[in-house]
Structure 1
Amino acid sequence: MLAVSTLLAATVLPTLAYGQETSQPAAAPAEADTTEVIVTGVTMKTKKVQSTISTSTITEKDMQILAASGTAQLLANIPGFLPEGGTAGETHNNVQVRGLPQAGGYRYVPNLIDGLPAYEEPEAPFMNNDVFIKPDIMTVRVEAVKGGPGGILYSNALGAAVNYITRTGTDEFEGGYKLELGSDDRVRNDLFVSGPLTKNLTFAVGGFYRTSNGVRDPGFTANAGGQIRGNLKYTSDDGSLTVLLMGQHIDDRTAFYQNVPYAVPATATPGTTAAPFTVDTDLIQNLGLDFGTGTPVSNQTSFYQLYDASGKQFTLDIKDGIHPKFDIFTAEVEKVFGNGWKFNANIRSTEGSNGFSAMFQDPPVDTSYLINGNPRNSGDTGFNGLIHSAPYAPWYQNAVAVKAYYTDSVTGTDLTTAKAAPAYLANNVPVRGFVEATTLVSDLRLAKNLDLGWSSHDLTFGVYNSHYTYDVFSVFARAYSTIEDSSRKVDFYAVDANGQQVGPSITKDSIVSPALFGLGATSSEQTKALYFLDHLTLLDDRLNIDAGVRWQELVINRVTTNSFNPGNTSANVTPNNVTVGSTNDSLAYKNVAIPNGAPQYDHQKYQGTGWSLGANYRLSGGKSGEGDTAIYATIAKSFRLPGFEDYIFGGPATNASTGAVAQGNLVEHIMQYEGGIRFANNQFAISLSGFYIDFEAKEILGSTLVDLSASVGGTPCSTVPTPANCPVVRDSYHNKLENKGVEFEYYYHPDYLPGLKIQGSIVLQDPKISNDVAYRDGIINGSYHTVAVGSYVPQRQPKTVVNFRPSYTFTSIPLTIYGQAYYYGERFAGNDDTAIYPAYTQVNAGALWSVTDRLDLQLHIDNLNDASSFTEGGSINANTTMSDGRYVGVARPLIGRSWKVVTSYRF
């Protein structure tokens, strides 16, 4: 469901181009609204057509019809945004923008609620930005800006910023209720009420609660929970003072869907950069899970016993999914003084936790390879070799074989009645992450309107401050199960000639390692910024200019215990009540990688400075209803300060030979150039823009490698095996991206056929990423493997995206029917350009019937044509093969066909 919200948008008027409000479906068509104003990326309300930057909007009426299930689905309405739909579920999806390279999440797209972040860092491990952003009936509008002043007014808005605007009360009592029923046993209730409390005080309160089995049904209720939020707004008699107090409580639980295993016929050839392999769903084979509906998680494979940093056993319950529990409180004050002065103070406090319980997938494994070793991997002797190696060999003297059985078929040490496991198994990586986080953010602005006669200036001086904390624990494990709906766990045992268990089990409740690695961190960050923006109006309001600058500093204090670096403890966790070496024992208890690396302390300070200059000139129009033609252009330099992925999960790194911190500059910079033309009249709304991006990523450290030029005791370090105590080397490099593209939005509502509307968008881009220097990333047969300077297409970035959205409203009955074809171009699976995910076209259709002026019924069918492709995953290579010669991999497929019925009532 890559673009479910975009797909549903076929019923609405051209809000993406000029934000026209819709009437009821059977109402007469309205002309394009060129008077719509925006509040995001600007310091004063500005007509959208006069904006100096690329702006897209989604109105309340749009969202009523869109009925998006999650944030990423909603953002698919915005040209230049490339969200990977709802393939991960309702939350923790990936959102990319204009070709900027990233592995996932919201790294360059901070999401704001009423102009402030719910949490300062948009991409935190195990806590993506969208766990806070849950559009519901209290969300009245969404605005997105790309480039320009967005990078001046908001933290880390290097690519774009999205602002979700909340309903507040009016002087009339009103309310609404919405019920959604879906094919995934979905039941969602939305409700709000609002109105006046006194002459000066209004209120609004509402939220949602939802349950469902999830878009990939694991056999249990995968999604359950919701949020409630409300606000009080005071307005003084003269309108010069407004005070808004807001509260929000989130307690939600959603499933996280990762990759699905697949196989490729043995006749295929693994891809190379020169001849990439196309991971085509018509060619590849599922191994027991349907690409459109299947999931490796089931009731049986949702519970695991893992170990935390203290070596204590705990239960991972994957049914808990992504589980944010947060309280958010906000105060907004606006005071208008005389002589053009105005003061704004916006303050927000966020506190709570997010649980991350999921199961990742590595490429599936061959059962015989696990037992006997993969002949393609030198030195791999499998479980047979393991049990006959020190110190385990004495326990297995009577063993004649290692066998795999369904876990639930084993009842004791007599394995003759146990059911043998299948030839191929899912390679599961159960994951538990838990985050406790807080944010206290303030944004203070002092504005002055200055009229110089020939020009009008709106000057804004801002002071931004945010203190936020991030405490995280995580552990990753390894387990095996069958590849099928309602998957079953698999365990491995050594057996004697009579089929009796010999010695400890090799796995325990399917787990071969209850702790592979993990991450622990406690951190406190402080960021502060100063910014200035001048909105300049000239030539009788025909020319608008925005010029601004932002300086920001980030101070980091953190302690990490990362089992990658600086290491972890290899522990024996055999329970005290288990006799070592007995059949009650398990090799899974031995050599457990407890994620308790020695604490690594760090204090760092980073700074960034950006600026923006943009202009909009109205060529014609200016009166309401006449339409407008305007041209605009913007040039901006923006920056992104380091995030948790940089200085916690991935660094700063310690040089293995010297102990010195080796991490380089983590501040990222971008230059964006954009220009375009906008035109609208009563039949057309068209926006055409072109952009060019020059982006430099943070400094990246390559792998820590042995220094092959050195020797120890006269033995060269290039020998195999390498002698101990060889010094190491570690290269550093930058990735750079250049992207040029065109974004075209259109709307056509012909006079000769009033019920017809055709709208959509076309995005064309050509992103190219390159490394600035050659670097060494591995050692193969005693020689460095070097990555030469070169360019490639960043992973999962299509060059072409097309939306075509027709709809027709009948004049005789209050019914609108709609459809959409959404084309998503081919893209590379990884940054090595060796595997291609094929292009696809997804078709949706639906109908909306206005039963009365207050009651609407809607039917929406998503992915009507059951389109298939993948949104992320790995490449195919010669090392990932089965014993029958087939290549195997994992990828996250599109969601199959689904439906939703929505009833909306307004009062």
Structure 2
Amino acid sequence: MFNKNVIAISIAAVFAAPSGHLFAQEAAQEAQQAEKSEVQDIERVIVTGVTRNMQKMKATFSINTISEEEMKVLAPHGAADLLGNIPGFFPEGGTAGESHNNVLVRGLPQAGGYRYVPNLIDGLPVYEEPEAPFMNNDVFIKPDLMTTTVEAVKGGPGGVLYSNALGAAVNYITRTGTQDFEGAYKIEVGDWGHVRNDFFVAGPINDNLTYALGGFYRVADGIRDPGYTGNSGGQFRGNLLYISDDGTTEVKLQAHVINDKTNFYQNIPYSITADRAPGTPENPFEVDPSSVNNLGVDFSDGTVLSHQTSFYELYNADGSQLKLDISDGIEPKFNIYTFEISKDFANQWRLDTALRATSGSNGFHALFNDPPTERSRLEAEQFSRIQSFDGVIGDSYANATGVKAFYSDTVTGTDLSTAERADSILAHNIPVYGMVDATSYVGDFRLSRFFDFEEHSHELTFGLYTSHYTYEVQSVFASAYSNISESSRLVDLYAVDENDQQVGPSISQGGVDQPALFGLGADATMRTNAFYFLDHISMLDDRLQIDIGGRYQELEVDRVTTNSFDPGNSSNDFTPSDVVVGSTNDTLADNFVNVPDGTPQFASESYDAFGWTIGANYRLTDTVTTYLSYADTFRLPGFEDYIFGGPATNPSTGDIARGDLVENIKQYEGGIRFSEKNYEFNFSGFYIDFAAKETLAATLDDLSDTGANGVSCSAVPAPDDCAKIRDSYRTSLKTHGIEFEGKYRPEWLDGLSLQGSIVWQDPKQGQDSAIRSAIIETDTDGDGINDTRRYDVSSGADRRPRRQSQWLINVRPSYTFSELPVTVYGQVMHYSERFSDDGNTNVTIYPGYTQLNAGMLYSFTEDMEFQLHVNNLNNADSFTEGSSVTEGLRFSNGDYTGVARPLLGRTIKASLMINF
């Protein structure tokens, strides 16, 4: 029968690396011999990508696993950091912090998040949509001692059994109780003010009923320390498992509560010495880390966040104040309840039912960064701006001789002669407030039957999947300034006279020059239903395994949106009624406020698709199998497609130009697996043919139009009332690659273990048409003044998708001493160079990097173990994402400017774990 307890225990035992649970030489030798015996004798069992437990060697598809013991040695900072140990996954180093990272898989092009990699807990999504804006999939995924195994399916039946699993599906398997009582407590400390407590207890209630309880609570300043406690909170979860006397009925109830807060790290401003022109497709600009200047914030552990730059007063749509506290970080608060029942009936019938209800909210409080600016340029731009005003505001600036930037904390009145001028280079910050309220109700019903037909046996499963989920979001993006330092200070701009006395309204207030650049508002209800089947066939005396399956799924959407960039919206003037307009008590910051207050846009939309798969596995010998799979699957649209994408190519006319939003993928894969007493190897090759959804380009002025007074929209300056254009296009991707994953324990050196993976991929994009992506102003007559505007036409065709490496290498050696209760281990992770972007005409390459991790385990007794772990031992220096080097982003000395998200620097943590 299908027994989750047996599965979890078997997987953990099979893949457990030497852990140092030793306290004498004799015990060490016995443990090593026992380990070798386990590798040879225990069947490796998987539960993901299959309808019933199966040996990993028999899988007809690509399957990777991370055991509980391996998770301990990897010591990840969060879910994305852990996923970087699955071949073909690139989680961008977990550089955003513990949560809200980007996870890419097998070269598939995406803006970020988990678009093609849904994360499941025990086979079900916690929330149906894996890439919800302001609520990435990993806010629900927090591995702890209740997590026994992580399994990842790429291709094959993954897209048939699970929603949105176009690239892969990752399944986190939860501990359940057995008839033997067990438990553990772990305390962990790190050199970034990190203290974490983990625990679990599990055991019997009676002969049929068991329980498991566990979770964690953690506080930390943050690896990039903002000067306050950035991480605090955790999760608690528990389950009850009932198994009938005859073993035919299994019922599980599970509750899971998340109340957490984590720092969200964003890009850091930089400059680069200008020793050559920006890159082109034929001659990319390759960033050399040694030529990159940090401008005041250390790349390894610095941040522009501080007490001052964490608090902003923004606006709601009705003009009321909205207080943004960035110290709240990523703040999920969810209650998750799961019910599962499995029943075996006569004649080999089986029914599996799984239901999950999720409700709660996720707060998104972040500080993004645009490329930095020079104070002198910003002051000149703002002075030119105020000179263009007329009426009361224009008159109030009549005596101004310039604009100056001062530190906000030194301004005490209208006499600015004693205030401190801001630094010569400033950070342009984008404070972001997002709040999501969400619910998700999921049901998965499977009816299976075993039967024999002539010379082969079948396990035929029919499934019905349904999900009803809601998404309500409010968000505001603002603009603010500060200096660039690790104790950054807010900067405000004032018009001044020749004596540095304030003239007219302040240009910014509380560091904010625009308390709302734009916002996103939506309230949506979605329903998705799917029917699927999978037939697992065993032939030739169980030597040949075949999987054939298909999935039909439909999605219905009812939504209303109020986005401040929709056609017809305009800026709001929220000047308080008790403020005299144009006085020094006034501020321009509340005069031009773009909040999501547009006319509500209602829509009901529906989508559907069908996908299928076929795969085979043939056992060549008792220790060698080979497999081949094909999958033609899909992903239905997500929130960013049907809520925030907007349907109109031409905002002026509202012409509908958006086309197919369903994404399709064809995946071919073949491989061979070896499993002997001392080694396990898997070699595979894959080919992917992917068609993305239709995408809308930027909204731009129509340069062929004329505006006020007959002035051409191609002139500089352009009229304000130019008609708009918006191109649409569709990208595709073809990629092939090779994956190797293996473990080796040589007989010639007891205690040594080598494992890891090597991935090579060559993804290349296609694009059905070039698009007008931006407008460039040019100087046509050589007088130093731009006089003509033209389109920047670009295409991502024949390029590798942004932020995707060709080589991903992960090697993890360990050694357990025979005479000491000590295991030492290391890790070498290498990612080759990556393109910062894949669509514009300026092509920039961020360098490859090699990161080293290391640690040791020391066992005081069989039940007490100490661990020391060092992450990024060598302080590897590179960026996982960032802006492109362009001609338009330069300082006055010619240096290029931009922003990028660096790797997290070296960290050290230690833990003590007690098993009981």
TM-superposed CA distance for 1:197, in Å, is 1.3
Describe the shift of the 1:143–1:265 C-alpha distance in structure 2 as closer, same or farther (beyond 3 A): same
Question: Number of matched residues?
Answer: 880
Is 2:149 the counterpart of 1:141?
Answer: yes
Partner of 1:344: 352
Distance in 1, Cα, partners of 2:101 & 2:702: 40
Q: Does 1:612 align with 2:613?
A: yes
Distance 2:313 2:709 in 1: 48
User: Is 2:823 aligned against 1:828?
Assistant: no
Aligned to 1:499: 500
Contact 1:708/1:716 (CA < 8 Å) preserved in 2?
A: no
CA-to-partner distance for each residue in 1:774-798, whole Å, 9 max, x for gaps? 3333455455443368311100000
- Distance change in 2, residues 1:385/1:468 (3 Å): closer
What corresponds to 2:856 in structure 1? 847
Query: Is 1:646 aligned to residue 641 of structure 2?
Result: yes
Kept in 2: contact 1:17–1:745 (CA 8 A): no
1:229 aligns with 2:233: no
Deviations 1:852-878 (A, max 9, x none): 100110001111111100001100111
1:904 matched to 2:913: yes
Cα distance in 1 between the residues matched to 2:698 and 2:576: 37
- The residue number in structure 2 matching 1:771 is 767
Q: Equivalent residue for 1:313?
A: 321
Distance in 1 of aligned mates of 2:353 and 2:753: 42
**Cα 1:713–1:330 shift into 2, 3 Å:** closer
Q: SS of the residue aligned with 2:873? A: coil
SS of residue in 2 equivalent to 1:88? coil
1:387-398 residue pairs with structure 2 within 5 A?
Answer: 387=387, 389-391=389-391, 392-398=393-399
Asked if 1:870 is matched to 2:879, the reply is yes
CA drift at 1:141: 1.0
Identity of aligned residues (%): 56
Structure 2 residue corresponding to 1:837, chosen from 846, 849, 854? 846
Report the equivalent of 1:540.
541
Partner of 2:686: 691
Contact map agreement 2:279 2:843 (CA 8 A) in 1: yes
State whether structure 2 residue 106 is matched by structure 1 residue 110.
Answer: no
2:894 to 868, 885, 895: 885
Can you give the 5+ residue segments of structure 2 that lack an aligned partner in the other structure? 1-9, 22-27, 777-787
Relative to structure 1, the CA distance from residue 28 to residue 648 in structure 2 (aligned partners, 3 Å threshold; closer, same or farther) is same
How far the C-alpha of 1:78 sits from its partner, in A, is 0.3
User: 1: distance between equivalents of 2:683 and 2:899?
Assistant: 38
Q: Secondary structure at the match of 1:856?
A: strand
Q: Which residue pairs with 1:815 in the alignment?
A: 822
| Aligned residue in 2 for 1:452 | 453
Q: 1:810-833: CA deviations, max 9, x gaps?
A: 000110111122111001011147
What is the alpha-carbon distance in structure 2 between the residues aligned to residue 28 and residue 188 of structure 1? Answer: 31
* 8 Å Cα contact 2:440-2:469 kept in structure 1: yes
Partner of 2:589: 588
Other-structure match for 2:5: none
One-letter code aligned to 1:772:
D
C-alpha deviation, 1:268, in angstroms: 3.9
Residue 679 of structure 1 corresponds to 674
CA 1:493/1:783 → structure 2, altered by over 3 Å: closer, same or farther? closer
- Deviation of 1:613 after TM superposition, in Å, equals 0.3
- Give matches, 1:683-832, under 5 Å: 683-705=678-700, 720=715, 729-780=725-776, 781=788, 783-787=790-794, 790-831=797-838, 832=840
Q: Is the 8 A contact 1:150 1:157 kept in 2?
A: yes
Secondary structure at 2:289 match in 1 = coil
Given residue 513 of structure 1, which amino acid in structure 2 is its aligned partner? Answer: Q
Cα 1:775–1:401 shift into 2, 3 Å: closer
Return the alpha-carbon distance in structure 2 between the equivalents of residues 67 and 16 of structure 1: 16
Q: Within 5 A, what are the aligned runs for 1:497-536?
A: 497-536=498-537
- Please list every run of 5 or more consecutive structure 1 residues that lacks an aligned counterpart in the other structure: 1-13, 374-381, 622-627
In the other structure, the counterpart of 1:28 is: 32
Supply the AA of the counterpart residue of 1:248.
H
TM-score, normalization: structure 2? Answer: 0.93
Aligned counterparts of 1:281 and 1:729: Cα–Cα separation in 2: 39
Mean CA deviation greater in 401-410 or 511-520: 401-410
Per-residue CA deviations over 1:589-632 (Å, capped at 9, x if unaligned) read: 111112211111111110010000000001111xxxxxx10100
More displaced stretch, 73-82 vs 593-602: 593-602
Q: Distance in 1 between matches of 2:611 and 2:281?
A: 36
Q: Give secondary structure in 1 for the equivalent of 2:346.
A: coil
State the AA in 2 paired with 1:386: I
Query: Aligned with 2:261: secondary structure?
Result: coil
Superposed displacement of residue 478, structure 1: 0.4
Q: 1:795 to 1:351 in 2, by over 3 A?
A: same
Deviation sequence 1:345-371 (CA, Å, 0-9, x none): 100000000000000000001100011
1:733 deviates by 1.8
Conserved 8 A contact 1:321-1:358? yes
Residue matched to 1:624? none
Q: Distance in 2 between matches of 1:710 and 1:263?
A: 38
Instruction: Give, in angstroms, the shift of residue 701 of structure 1.
Output: 2.3
Using the size of structure 1 for normalisation, the TM-score is 0.94
Deviations 1:383-435 (Å, cap 9, x if unpaired)?
Answer: 34425632422112222222111111111122121111110001100000000
**Alignment-mate amino acid for residue 495 of structure 1:** V
- 8 Å contact 1:795–1:829 — kept in the other structure? yes
Return 878-887 or 605-614, whichever deviates more. Answer: 878-887
Cα distance change on mapping 1:190 and 1:322 into 2, 3 Å: same
Counterpart of 1:403 in 2: which secondary structure?
Answer: strand
Structure 1 CA distance, aligned partners of 2:504 and 2:114?
Answer: 49
Report which stretch shifted further, 120-129 or 388-397: 388-397
Aligned residue for 2:379, secondary structure, equals: helix
SS at match of 1:796: coil
CA RMSD of aligned residues (A): 2.0
| Residues 449 and 286 of structure 1: CA distance in aligned 2, closer, same or farther (over 3 Å) | same
2:307 pairs with 299, 306, 311, which one? 299
Q: Distance in 2 between matches of 1:616 and 1:168?
A: 31
CA separation of 1:281 and 1:112: change in aligned 2, threshold 3 A: same
Whether contact under 8 Å (1:17, 1:685) holds in the other structure is no
Query: Structure 1: how far apart are the matches of 2:383 and 2:211?
Result: 65
Q: Quick one: which of 245, 251, 266 aligns to 1:243?
A: 251
Q: Secondary structure at the match of 1:649?
A: coil
Aligned residue in 2 for 1:557: 558
Corresponding residue SS for 1:266: coil
Letter in 2 for 1:603: S
In structure 2, the residue matched to 1:159 is: 167
- Contact 1:17–1:686 (CA under 8 A) maintained in structure 2: no
Distance 1:400 1:761, change over 3 A: same
Following the alignment from structure 1 to structure 2, what is the Cα–Cα distance between the partners of residues 214 and 129?
21
1:261 and 2:269 matched: yes
Answer yes or no: is the 8 Å Cα contact 1:612–1:635 preserved in 2: yes
Alpha-carbon distance between aligned partners in 2 of 1:716 and 1:370, rounded to the nearest angstrom: 28
Report if the CA contact (8 A) 2:436-2:472 is conserved.
yes
For the 8 Å contact 1:460–1:533, the answer to whether it is kept is: yes
Aligned mates of 1:532, 1:856 — CA distance in 2: 46
> Shift in Å at residue 729 of structure 1?
4.6
1:305-324 deviation digits (Å, cap 9, x = unpaired): 00012221121000000000
Is the Cα contact below 8 Å between 2:755 and 2:811 reproduced in 1?
yes
Matched letter for residue 478 of structure 1 = S
Please show how residues 563-578 of structure 1 align to structure 2 within 5 Å.
Answer: 563-578=564-579
